[in-house]
Every structure is written in structure tokens, then in C-alpha cells.
Structure 1
Amino acid sequence: MIPSLFIAHGAPLLAIENNEYTQFLSQLGQSMPRPKAIVLFSAHWVTRVQKVSEVQEYDTIYDFGGFPDELYQIRYPAKGDQHIAHEVETLFAGNGIPLRVETERGLDHGAWIVLRLLYPNADIPVISMSVNPRLSPKEQYEIGQALTSLREQDILVIGSGGTVHNLREIQFQQSVVDDKALQFDQWLEKHLKDWDLDSLYQYEVLAPNVNFAVPPHGNEHFVPIFYAMGAADDVRRAALLHRSYRYGNLSHSVWQFG
């Protein structure tokens, strides 16, 4: 059975950089069993009601500004899969999860940067999914949990975001890792590995430096971890595959669940 993943998508420049993290993601895509399809929850698609994509071929969305022209020339023409999208919709309906179908939206950079590093040929069908930061962590986990059976079909569930993602605290010239970021990620590591849902659901009051790592009213990058974790509720095993930082505190972490 294929695991689920939480992958930090970092800054848009990752798409054109060659560094420790981009090399890791490329190697991960080559070493993992090839998925039949990918269901991806992106921090950059926020909706009040869960959205499920039924797109035949995705456009590439450049939802950022002020970067080198090279970034805007990248295309990731992944195709969708209507049959799998319908299966996702059926699973949600069976678990009482409201949803709406999206037939036009392309892949934002939270999706295509990760996918392009893992699978550069864009030859694996993708079902793009929104996230809802207004839900409780338990509700986000339950949305992922509804999809656990997909993993038996070798369908890879990915949550794309970042455990420490506070653009106001980024220090572009800083190479030393901020202690506040480390302390938050170390707390998170312990409770993920213990599958301690009680503590994780209360991360906003229990985790150290939480307002630094997950700024108030800016939790959309953190919450995809609950969707990915929930998709492995049947196994409840967590492994940290990679962790590094850019710009002092922007986390590049990859978690495997299941």
C-alpha cells in the first residue's frame, strides 16, 4: 500500500534551483513506487467548501510575482482523471463531507512545483484539491481519512504546504536556522511520530512558538499536514524523510504517513 505524504513547497524559486531539497524530492520521486494517480491538497487553493477537480488537462498557474522570467515559462501539463475524481466524490459523500466540483482551475505553484520535482514528465493523473483553514484540525484530518482506501489502489495523497511558513519572519541573507523554527518542528516531530492526535489538534495552544511558525490567520500552509495524515489513519505510522530550512526559518520538510 502506498503511503501518503506531506511536502513543503517552499518558495517558487525551488522550481529552478538545484539544491539539497530539490535533489531530495527528485530522488524521492524515483525511489517511491510509481503511483496510479495523485490526489493533492494545496495550501494555495483555499475554499470554504471542499473542492474536487474534474479537469481534463491543467493549465499552469503563476500565483506569484517579482520572480525571474524563467519561472513563468515553466509548464506542467498534468492531466486529470474523471473516474478517480468521481471516486473521491463518492468517498466524501459517504462520509458526509460537502463538496463542489471544479472543472476549470489549473495547478497553482503549491501543486506544480512539488509535482514537477517528483514527476517531471507530468505523466501521472492529478486530482487537485482545496483546503479549508477555517475547519478544525480534526475536521481536516477526517477529510483525509475519508480517502484512506485510495492508497490500496496505489493512489498517492499529498498535502503541500509548510510546517514553518511565516513570510514576515523570513531573513533572505540568513543561513543560521532560527531556534524558534527548530523548537516548533521538534515538538511537531514528537507528536506526529506518537500519532498524538489530542495534542496535534491543540497545536495552536500547546506547540512552542506557534505564532511564529504558523502565524495567526495564516495557517493555510500548515493544515495540509492533517489531510495527509488522515489519509493514513488505518496504519498510523509517521516518518520524517527530510528537514532543512531556507532563509533562516522557511521549512523544507517531508513527512511520510502509513
Structure 2
Amino acid sequence: MIPSLFIAHGAPLLAIENNEYTQFLQQLGNTLPRPKAIVIFSAHWESQIQKVSRVDEYETIYDFGGFPDALFQIKYPAKGDEEITKELEELFTSQGVSYEIETKRGLDHGAWGVLRMLYPNADIPVISMSINPHLSPMEQYRVGKSLSELREKDVLIIGSGGTVHNLGALNWEKDGEVDDWALEFDEWLASQLKAWDIEALFNYDSLAPNAQHAVPPYGIEHFVPIFYTMGAAGDHQTAKLLHRSYRYGNLSHSVWKFG
């Protein structure tokens, strides 16, 4: 069965860089079983009601500014999949998850930045999904779990965000070193994920060291996609860290495989 994945999308510049992390993501796309379709929860699409894309072909959204022109030349014209979208709707309905269909929104950089490295030809159908950072972790987990059986049909479920994502704490001149507080948070997280201790994970904000610094209130949307993708593992409650590196002192590039 195809796993679910939590993938850090890093800073927008990652899309035009060649480094340890971009090379890992490119290789990851080559080693995964080729999915029939991809469902992706992006930290850059927030909504109070769960949104589900039903789009024939996505436009590319440039939801950032002040970066090189090369970033704004990138296109990722992925197509949707009406059949998988319908299955997804049926699962949400049967599990009592409220949702709304979105027919116009393109792919933000949290989505295309990751997908373009995994599958550069944009030849795998995509269903883009919003996240709701105001839900409890348990509720986010439940949303993901309601889709777990899609994995049996070779649908890859991805959460795109970042485990340590505090823009105010970044040192853009610092590379190759990691701040102790960020590493301590990620180590605690890794321990709980590998044990699948969801009680501790759901209370990370009070239990994890440096939680308020690693996941500040204004950046919680980057952390919570991990709960959606954990839930998508269903009854296959295993977690494996595939990659972890850091940029700018504490921006975590973590990739977790669930299920």
C-alpha cells in the first residue's frame, strides 16, 4: 500500500535551488510507487470549512513576493481527477466531514513546490485540499483518517508544511548549523511519532520543548498538515523519518512517511 507523507516545503527559493534537500525530494519521487493520483493538504490554503478542489487544470499561484524572477516563471499545470474527487467526497460524506468544492483555485507554492520536485512532468492528477489550523489536532487527524482507504487505490496523500517554521527566528545568513531549540523540538516530535503517541502529539503545544518557538501562533498552519497525513495512515500506525536537514538556523526540512 502506498504511504502517506508529510513533506516540508521550505522557503520559496527551494524551487530553484540545488542542494541536499532538493536532491532528496527528486530521488524520492523516483523511488515511490507511482501513484494513480495525489491528494495534497497545503499549509498555504487555509479555510474554516474543508475545501476540495475540482479543477480540470490548475493555474500556478505565486503566493510570495521579493524573490527572483525565475520563481515567477515556473509553471506546474497539473490536472485534476473527477473520479478520485468523487470518491473523496463520498468518504467525507460517510464519515461526517463537512466540505465544500472549489472549482477555480490553482496550486499554491506549498503544493507545486513539493510536487514539482517529486513529479516534474506534472503528469499525475492532483486534488488540492485546504487545512484548518483552528481545528484541534484530533479533528485534523480525523479528517485525514477518513481518506485512508484511498491509499489502497494507489492515491498518495501528502501534507505540505514544516515541523519548525518560525519566520521571525530565521537567520538568512546562517547555513549548515541548527539552533539547539529547533533540534530539541524535532527530536521530541520524532520520539512521539515513532511511538505513535497521539495523546502526547495532540498536546504538543504544552508538552514539547520549545513548542511556542518552533510552532508560533502565526505559523501553526505549517505544522498541522502532519496530523492530516498521520490520520491518512489509518490502522497502519507506523512512522519513519526519511530526511531531516535545516536551513537558516532552524527552518526544518523534514520528510515523514506514515503507514
TM-score (norm 2): 0.99
Q: How does 1:1-258 map to 2 (within 5 A)?
A: 1-175=1-175, 176-258=177-259
1:83 Cα offset (Å): 1.1
1:82 Cα offset (Å): 1.1
Other structure's SS at 2:168 match: coil
In structure 1, C-alpha distance between the alignment counterparts of 2:170 and 2:219, rounded to whole Å: 15
1:20 Cα offset (Å): 0.2
The one-character-per-residue Cα deviations of 1:235-258 (angstroms, maximum 9, x if unpaired) are: 000000000000000000000000
In structure 2, C-alpha distance between the alignment counterparts of 1:216 and 1:178, rounded to whole Å: 20
Other structure's SS at 1:38 match: strand
Identity of aligned residues (%): 69
Q: Which amino acid aligns with 2:228?
A: Y
Cα-Cα RMSD: 0.5
Q: Which amino acid aligns with 2:207?
A: L
Other structure's SS at 1:10 match: coil
The one-character-per-residue Cα deviations of 1:119-159 (angstroms, maximum 9, x if unpaired) are: 00000000000000000000000000001100000000000
1:218 Cα offset (Å): 2.3
Other structure's SS at 1:58 match: coil
Q: Which amino acid aligns with 1:206?
A: L
In structure 1, C-alpha distance between the alignment counterparts of 2:156 and 2:242, rounded to whole Å: 16
TM-score (norm 1): 0.99
In structure 2, C-alpha distance between the alignment counterparts of 1:95 and 1:217, rounded to whole Å: 30
Q: Which amino acid aligns with 1:169?
A: A
In structure 2, C-alpha distance between the alignment counterparts of 1:82 and 1:226, rounded to whole Å: 26
In structure 1, C-alpha distance between the alignment counterparts of 2:139 and 2:218, rounded to whole Å: 18
Other structure's SS at 1:100 match: strand
Q: Which amino acid aligns with 1:249?
A: N
Instruction: State the aligned residue count.
Output: 258
Residues 200 and 207 in structure 2, CA contact (< 8 A), matched pair in contact too:
yes
In structure 2, C-alpha distance between the alignment counterparts of 1:257 and 1:157, rounded to whole Å: 10
Other structure's SS at 2:252 match: strand
In the alignment, structure 1 segments of 5+ residues that lack a partner are: none
Q: Which amino acid aligns with 1:21?
A: Y
1:234 Cα offset (Å): 1.3
